[in-house]
Amino acid sequence: MSANTSAYTALERRYARMSHVAGARGMLSWDHQTMMPVGGADARAEQMATLGVIEHELATDPALPDLFAAAEQEPLDDWQRANLREMRRRWRHATALDADLVERVSRAASAGDLAWRAARPANDFAGFAPALRAVLAVVREVAARKTEALGLAPYDALLDEYEPGFGAAEVDVLFADLERFLPDFLGRALERQRARPAPERPGGPFPVERQRALGVRLMEAVGFDFHHGRLDVSLHPFCGGTPDDVRITTRYDESDFTSALMGVLHETGHAMYERGLPAAWRHQPVGEARSTGMHESQSLLIEMQACRGREFLGFAAPIMRQAFDGDGPAWHPDNLYRLYTRVEPDFIRVDADEVTYPAHVILRYRLERAMIAGDLAVDDLPGAWNDGMKRLLGIVPPTDTLGCLQDIHWADGAFGYFPTYTLGAMAAAQLFAAARRAEPGIPAALEHGDFTPLMAWLRAHVHGQGSLLGAPELMTRATGQPLGVAAFEAHLEARYLS
């Protein structure tokens, strides 16, 4: 650092380098999941491990604590001070782990990912179990190290990486509130549904190229910029890349276009958040998304709150019909609305309706906590999964492919991630309600496929805030109250009982 360079400026430069390395690793991961030939797996694992070690070395540089201390004494504005806070938080997480453990995590996750991709279609949990045991072992080691460094319980130390400042105690309170509400509500929603004509499913086939074209058309309506992003195919839909090069993936079924389309719109919500993050703080911690739960709130706000609503489906129905040369009552907006809001307990989380989805998350949350605590062995996971599905939704998966093999998260080492899905659903309902109160013209705009008013509000109150605020403060400023279940429950009642 030269005499004319402030400590804070030196920190910004260092964290920009870390961001570039992380971005490169993200692109390699996208390629791995979309188009990399199977034979490239070993080489890709080496590349990912090497980049992970480089990123860790940058994040744990012994010079950082002195730079933090010096920067604290400099005159900083609110954004700079928040950036310094986020740098310190990342440093605390990074220094909890040594380079050897980081490399072992990366290698175990790469092997777990590859094993999962082979086991899931083959319904081969026994073949996947050794890889999952290896992943769990290193993740428990990570949890132990972070427990010591952060002063948090093991599971909380993992959750903090995705949802900073939010622990299992807070999750338990919110999930308990949902559990008190959902069983009775599910029964009432199903009874109300039975009193209506069953929706008619449009007849296929639906060629993949037409499905893709339809997805692109509606992505553009939401505001996705294809000069800064792509739409591709993967086994498990996701949104990755960087804010300036956002990569969306989906999976198609030629017998049913409805799932892939809403999957595309869901990932578009993630992409719009990434694109809306403050450009002035690109490649700095404060310029990144506030939390995983907040990220999920943006995808669910677009998919569930906006795109499954009557207003948007009134706009989209003729476009869907035209895309597949459809005809008849199945393509009527009211039928598509009933189809897209149909409630039915299902084995697959990503296909679940918004009423039963929280049960999928609560199950995974409890199972992963038990595995981290050592109370659930990997070999006992299929049975525990099936017991939980029966208790929470009254159904039992006939295969592990439809059960504990369906998600990639644990294979990739992402323990502590699952609660953020339902935290995001609650935040989405709360934010959408606040947006409509502030901008009453949003529903009418959605009738014409115009997301401009909604996006403008989100840009101002969520996207453009980056990580300036903590998630609780961001929610309180944007909606007037902390995260809770009331808005989500009110949304479900309005949609499914009216």
Catalytically active residues, by annotation:
267
CB atoms within 10 A of CB 327: 10
Task: Tell me the CA distances in angstroms from 376 to 289, 319, 348, 379, 384, one per residue in order.
Answer: 33, 49, 22, 8, 8
SS3 content of the chain, % helix, strand, coil (to 5): 70, 5, 30
Q: What pairing do the DSSP bridges indicate for beta strands 245-250 and 239-242?
A: antiparallel
Q: How many CB atoms lie within 10 A of CB 209?
A: 9
Strands 229-233, 245-250: pairing kind: parallel
Residue of 252, 209, 245, 251 lying closest to 226 (CA atoms): 245
Tokens matching residue 468: 């300036």
Residue ranges of the alpha helices (H) in 35-77? 41-59, 64-72
State the Cα–Cα distance between residues 1 and 359, nearest whole angstrom. 52
Beta-bridge mates of residue 248: 231, 239
**Tokens 């639906």 identify what position?**
206
Q: How many residues does the chain have?
A: 498
> Across the chain, how many H-helices and E-strands are there?
20, 3
CA distance 311 to 336: 12
Cα angle value 303/267/40 (rounded, 5°): 155
Residue 349: both structure tokens together? 């989380």
Cα(first)–Cα(last) distance of the chain, in Å? 64
Three-state SS at 60 = coil
The pair of structure tokens assigned to 456 is: 């403008």
Q: Which pair of structure tokens corresponds to residue 217?
A: 């058309």
